[in-house]
C-alpha cells in the first residue's frame, strides 16, 4: 500500500511568521495535531505539533504572540506519496515522530500521514486475514 492511499489531504499549512496562537487555533478548527510550515515558495520549512506548542511554548511561559518558527521543528522527516507505507513507518520509528508531511519532488506538502493512519490500516488488514481464516476454518469443519 502506498502513502497516498492513507494520507490526509490537503496538508494543513501555515507560514513561519504566523503566531503560535493562530496556529493553535488553526489546529483546533481543522481538528489536527500538527501544521506543516511552508516558506514563501510553498516548500516545507518545518512542522509544529500540539506537543511542540505545549512543551516548547506554554511550559516555558512563552507567549502565544511569538512566531511559530520559534517552536517549529526545522529538520522535517517527510515521505513521497508513492512511498510504501512500511517505509513511512520505518522513517517514523527512526526519527521518533508520529507524523510525516507527504511532499512532492519540489518539496511542496500535499498531505500528512500519521502513525494512527498506519496502525488503523494494519488493524484493518489483520481483520481481513482473520475473517479469511475463520471462513476457511468453518468451511473445513463442515466437511466436503
The CATH number assigned to the domain holding 119 equals: 3.10.580.10
Strands (E), 18-129: 34-38, 44-49, 99-103, 109-114
Q: How far apart are CA 34 and CA 114, in angstroms?
A: 10
Number of domains within the chain: 1
pLDDT attached to residue 17: 97
- The alpha carbon dihedral of 66, 101, 24, 97 has a sign of negative
pLDDT attached to residue 22: 98
Among 110, 5, 96, residue whose Cα is nearest residue 49: 96
Among 55, 48, 38, residue whose Cα is nearest residue 103: 38
Q: What is the DSSP letter of 124?
A: H
pLDDT attached to residue 132: 76
Do 46 and 67 meet the contact criterion of CB atoms below 8 Å apart? Answer: no
Among 142, 143, 83, 144, residue whose Cα is nearest residue 118: 83
How confident is the prediction along the chain (144 residues), in pLDDT tens digits per residue?
Answer: 999 999 999 999 999 999 999 999 999 999 999 999 999 999 999 999 999 999 999 999 999 999 999 999 999 999 999 999 999 999 999 999 999 999 999 999 999 999 999 998 888 877 777 777 777 767 666 766
pLDDT attached to residue 70: 96
Helix (H, G, I), strand (E, B) or coil at 139: helix
Do 118 and 3 meet the contact criterion of CB atoms below 8 Å apart? Answer: no
Query: Domain range spanning residue 29?
Result: 3-141
Helix spans in 31-114 (H): 50-52, 85-95
pLDDT attached to residue 141: 67
Amino acid at each position: 500500500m502506498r502513502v497516498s492511499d492513507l494520507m490526509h489531504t490537503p496538508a494543513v499549512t501555515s507560514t513561519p511568521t504566523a503566531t503560535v496562537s493562530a496556529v493553535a487555533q488553526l489546529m483546533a478548527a481543522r481538528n489536527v495535531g500538527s501544521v506543516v510550515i511552508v516558506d514563501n515558495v510553498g516548500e516545507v520549512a518545518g512542522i509544529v505539533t500540539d506537543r511542540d506548542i505545549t512543551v516548547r511554548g506554554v511550559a516555558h511561559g512563552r507567549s502565544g504572540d511569538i512566531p511559530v518558527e520559534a517552536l517549529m521543528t526545522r529538520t522535517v522527516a517527510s515521505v513521497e506519496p508513492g512511498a510504501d507505507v512500511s517505509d513511512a513507518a520505518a522513517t517514523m520509528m527512526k526519527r521518533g515522530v508520529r507524523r510525516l508531511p507527504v511532499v512532492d519532488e519540489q518539496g511542496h506538502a500535499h498531505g500528512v500521514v500519521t502513525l494512527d493512519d498506519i496502525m488503523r490500516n494494519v488493524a484493518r488488514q489483520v481483520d481481513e486475514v482473520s475473517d479469511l481464516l475463520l471462513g476457511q476454518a468453518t468451511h473445513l469443519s463442515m466437511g466436503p
